[in-house]
Chain A
């Protein structure tokens, strides 16, 4: 039951990264791909009706994590106190930047929120990546399952740890370039003409950065967290996850410079899902490994809620998620196709 809920939470988090990832990515690249108000509006309109719903995946995943693994929720959220608060402030900035921008037609008001949209998107990408890096690297848990990390110490993966060190920063950079590529591919898919062309160029440049960073982070991860290698050796079927990521990268390459934009975007989705599931598989059954003493790590077993709660949770979770899925299919179909520069909305 614990393993099932681990998978369900992982799926929800992956859905969040794939969906809100393109909102963040679009925010990062919108200055690069849109040169005037009309083009900017096209980029905003490509995410306008969906971004809020995409963000709900973070809340729903957080809530599900809370009730299924309260021990993990308590320990990790209080231990990562400072970076989480920064993430909250950035999420506020991002939401407000999108929502308030078009209320006033002024050459002072709009660029202000455009900058907020870009800044929050870029920093959130780095922070989410660094957060994943922290989970893989492990944190200094004590015997009662508590820890507290400052934002940084000496940027080394030894001694007194900080949230940011060269390993977690490199994962943050990987997340940044991956979401730049993801957002650019989304914009290329949803827009036309110049904007779409420029977005395809950004995605093509980002692709090389993603490949380089993926190789680098993979090598670093093997050195930093021996658990990953051990899990892969013990269960060879786990190679499907990294293979999915590689397949995604190849699909992006195979989109043939903008001729098959849907294949490019789906490839990027596959890449992100492959990377996240590889990480989850790599540290399983841990959800928060400990260092320097690995035996203090939090696993799905020592953080899960009671068996009855987990069982009864399935009774509402499954119909609830089917409903949510139905809304998403409906929304994405309703707002499907290329966005037009004229007409209603953002």
Chain B
């Protein structure tokens, strides 16, 4: 296939779907690419089948999830060319998009690109986190949404952030028993400076309190101020040990679900050399974007959580705005028209963004989670590089940054291409050098950003 589109949207989550709706509405020829079989992204994963086949589960997942159904339906009706089960493994200097499906590889030409690949769970490197039986909270949510399944045995949720409590209530409603919730110290002091914004967003406040009260009613034990988490087990997770307020605690479980916020899934944008900057509250790199999601690379935009964590509703609005920006850039609408359509979206977006600084500050990842102290903690899961080795290379050999680190110990050279070790390596180097992560920089990411075989690459020159 060598079609030519006005806009290729990568990712069919809320931002991608919203962008598709707006851009097709303005008459653009649009393709939407997603790795999954159905639209929804991670947050609205499997929403169509849940709503048609599992109404009880729909109730368990809550109103925020259910709200996504209308968006998905509007997306289906939009006329965008939806390419499911398709991954994007490269975007070249001409802005051609290289895709891969079960049927083979293709190269798509387009005027504009919108990257809406969302976020992923931030890695939570604690001792034992590579054991079978340790997963992310997001993974458990995906199991629930895509199959209705809940943990079979004792399960512990550990980490920090609003998703922890949300998942706990979803699992409870779906019939799971939660052995314990372990929360790392929340940063109340730091969050207070942003409290005004949060209080002016009553919806978020009420949501949090409702979740807590539901958990209390179900008698779920929540332990706070948890530090030094270490997962126990030989060949499989068997439990988790921790320190809290001077005591050592231990919980037996064969499933440990970790979570400490989400971060942009940035490799595609990084491979294009978009400019990024360090966000110290969210402790991650975010792309530099203008008000229309435009990156520093011509013709490439980013919307949704991929631009920095903003939440599902804000992601949707940013998707609409990015589509307006793209439509204007290819001269489909005037600047005046673009701004007129954008005005209500911006004001709505502003409301949703108000609560973020407070949440980001409150649940800011603690230093010991960002930069593990225990030398034996695996940092690079693919290459099995441990924290002690990384620290040693900085302190004893003066290794200044993640690219030198990568070339010396192979961190980031495995199949995940630094997705699960990059931030940790940056934080460790920053801590050892006593400089902010913004000075340390990130891995140089190159294509392919998804696996592709040599045969599939060679086949492109035949067609």
| A and B assemble together | no
Task: Please give the residue numbers on chain A whose beta carbons come within 8 Å of chain B beta carbons, in ascending order.
Answer: none
